[in-house]
Each structure stands twice: as C-alpha cells, then as structure tokens.
C-alpha cells in the first residue's frame, strides 16, 4: 500500500514534479519523501517517508525511531535499522543506513505508516545502552525520548531489568534510576 499523504519520487509524481510543487509551497520534504504542506507531520507520515530507503524485513531503531515517535525534531543523518525477520541480509545496504544484524523481537516492534519501528520503550533502552557505550551521560536522543514520553521511564527500567545479559545494561539502569535523567 502506498501511504496516501507521502509522495515518493517516481511513484505518483517524478522528482522534478515534486521539486516544482515544493517550490510552489504545495509539498514539503519529510524524510526521504514529500508530504502535502497542509498535513500534520506525525509518526505515521515520518515512518512512511522512509520506505524508499528501508528494505522490507528491517525496522527503524535508535535515533531514527526516536524521530519517528516524535521525540526528535530532525531526522538523523544516518538512519538506524535492525533486522526484524529471521533471515539475515546477504548484501550491502544503503550507505545512509546503520545496520544492526541482531533480530528485533516482534513484541518490541510497532507498525507505523506501514513500517516496523522499535517501540518507545525499546527505543529508549537502545539509546541509553548506546550512549553508555559512547559517553559518560545520556545524549540528545535519550534525553529527548525521556522528555517527550516521561511515562515510559518505569516501563523502560522494568524492561531492562528483566532482560538477559546485555552490553551496558547496568549503566543504562543506573541512568534510569538517577534523578538527573528525569527531565520532567
């Protein structure tokens, strides 16, 4: 199904026609696509806008999922994707993607705009663990998720605590327990 408010170059209109419509103010860019200027940009539109870039069997994760969920205002430069099927990829993906080969469980996936996206809780947990690997404090994506969805803190803590052994799990749990991370 083609998402009704997302125009991908080459499907209904050519790139030249979409560029002209953008100059006229009829459409605006969103992700890898365009949308009508008078439509509200929501999670479904954001997810559907990445369909030309993300192959079937891959789910949006980390900063890409945070952008789709509405926590981040701008999409990341490189989108994060993760395999959500049992079958592994055997070819090179687009250079604009950061690919993780570990399978994303179906219970931690939501479908928005026809695209699989990691759930809000899973997105926060992934961002915190990635931040723990890279720095001494949660970075913009995790802080934005916490600010946008403060109600998921307890659920994220339970999810991490009940999961098996994961890299940087302890540091992520410590950040969830510390008040400075709570931005509300």
Phi and psi at 118, nearest 5°, equal -65, 145
The answer to which of 46-50, 89-93, 164-168, 172-176 has the lowest mean pLDDT is 89-93
Q: What number of other Cβ atoms are within 10 A of residue 149's Cβ?
A: 20
Residue whose structure tokens are 């789709």:
68
**pLDDT tens digits, 8-53:** 998 889 999 999 999 999 999 999 999 999 999 999 999 999 999 9
Q: Report the pLDDT value the prediction gives residue 3, as an integer from 0 to 100.
A: 66
Global pTM? 0.91
Q: At what angle do helices 140-148 and 120-134 cross, to 10 degrees?
A: 150
Q: Is the pLDDT of residue 182 over 60?
A: no
pLDDT bracket for residue 157 (50, 70, 90): very high
The answer to which of 27-36, 64-73, 90-99, 138-147 has the lowest mean pLDDT is 90-99
Cα pseudo-dihedral 142, 106, 6, 8, rounded to 10: 100
Q: Could you give the residue ranges of the DSSP H alpha helices within the chain?
A: 15-24, 43-49, 62-69, 120-134, 140-148, 153-162, 169-177
């Amino acid at each position: 199904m083609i998402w009704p408010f997302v125009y991908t170059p080459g499907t209904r209109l050519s790139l030249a026609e979409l560029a002209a419509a953008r100059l006229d103010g009829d459409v605006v860019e969103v992700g890898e696509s365009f949308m009508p200027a008078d439509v509200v940009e929501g999670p479904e539109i954001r997810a559907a806008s990445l369909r030309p870039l993300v192959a079937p069997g891959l789910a949006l994760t980390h900063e890409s999922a945070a952008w789709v969920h509405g926590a981040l205002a701008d999409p990341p430069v490189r989108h994060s994707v993760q395999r959500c099927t049992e079958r592994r990829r055997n070819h090179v993906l687009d250079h604009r993607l950061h690919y993780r080969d570990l399978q994303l469980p179906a219970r931690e996936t939501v479908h928005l705009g026809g695209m699989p996206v990691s759930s809000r809780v899973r997105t926060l947990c992934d961002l915190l663990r990635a931040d723990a690997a890279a720095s001494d404090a949660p970075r913009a994506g995790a802080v934005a998720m916490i600010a946008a969805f403060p109600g998921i803190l307890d659920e994220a803590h339970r999810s991490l605590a009940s999961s098996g052994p994961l890299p940087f799990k302890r540091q992520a749990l410590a950040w969830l327990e510390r008040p400075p991370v709570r931005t509300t």
